Amino acid sequence: MIASGPRPTVTRTAVALVSDQFLTREALAELVAGDEELESLGAAASPADAELFLSDPRLQVLLVNLSLAGSPGAAAPGVAFIRTAKTRRPDVGVLSLKRGVDELLLRAALDAGADACCLVTTPFDRIQQAIKAVAAGATWLDAEISQVLLHPRASFDAAHLSPRERDILRLIVDGYSNAEIAAQLGSAQATIHTHVIRLFRKLGVNDRVTAAVRALRAGIV
């Protein structure tokens, strides 16, 4: 094992940042400049401009502002950029900055390969910590974000669902049929069927697909 002691500042972590918002770019640049263990390779305003960084062998961590404006219909360009970046440079850590805790966008970012998610409201020193976490190959999730993604129990109370209905909703999202749910919960199919119907009434839906989508979008599951 390696003793930890005071870290030599010889090897600095090389960071590049991508954001379409001027203010964010400035703030992030200041953030990187304010930490002697970090080193900036530059800032880009668009994914296209950021292509350059991907060719830089020194690059270790990429800061991406996911609120990159995009057409509402198509997939978010920020997510697409993360995917291409991770495809071309799997060794580079990606930290994505989020304005809010939209679960779908978060999952999309992580699925695309993001190694960390921070909110833009996160204090500087924590983002600096997160950058180092990413450089170490680890995953960093801000408290608010991990609450949504990993500890969904907290937001479970959002809907006025009974515990049993929440169990079933979760299993519906997991793609199980009524029969499979019955087997897993040790109940009869008829019971599950009743629960499912009542669950639909409470969610205001008529089929399990919309129930699952609503649950995901609402962060219930």
Q: Site for DNA (CB under 7 A): which residue of 136, 190, 213, 218? A: 190
Produce one character per residue of 11-42: b if its CB has 16 or more CB atoms within 10 Å, e if not: ebbbbbbbbbbeebbebbbebbeebeebbbbe
Position 87 contacts DNA (CB under 7 A): no
Outline where 61-114 has alpha helix (H). Answer: 77-88, 103-112
CA distances from 104 to 93, 117, 208 (A): 21, 13, 18
Q: Site for DNA (CB under 7 A): which residue of 104, 136, 197, 213? A: 197
**Least distance to a second copy, CB of residue 52, Å:** 24
Residues 119-178, interacting with DNA (CB under 7 A): 160, 162-165, 177-178
**At 43, which helix (H) or strand (E)?**
strand 38-44
A 10 A CB-CB count for 185 gives: 16
| Amino acid, res. 194 | T
Is the CB of residue 14 less than 8 Å from the CB of residue 61?
Answer: yes
Position 194 contacts DNA (CB under 7 A): yes
> With CB under 7 A as the contact rule, which of the stretches 26-34, 42-50, 116-124, 183-191 interacts with DNA?
183-191
**Least distance to DNA, CB of residue 173, Å:** 13
CA distances from 174 to 146, 170, 211 (A): 20, 6, 12
Q: Which does 79 bind (CB under 5 to 8 A by kind): DNA, a second copy, none?
A: a second copy
Q: Site for a second copy (CB under 8 A): which residue of 62, 64, 85, 145? A: 145
Q: Between 56 and 144, name the residue whose CB sits nearer to a second copy.
A: 144
Instruction: Map residues 73-112 to x or -, x wherever contact with a second copy holds by CB under 8 A.
Output: --xx--x------------------------xx-xxxxxx
**Least distance to a second copy, CB of residue 217, Å:** 5
List the end-to-end C-alpha distance of the chain, in Å, as a whole number. 40
Binding footprint of DNA on the chain (CB under 7 A): 160, 162-165, 177-179, 185, 187-191, 193-197, 200, 206-209
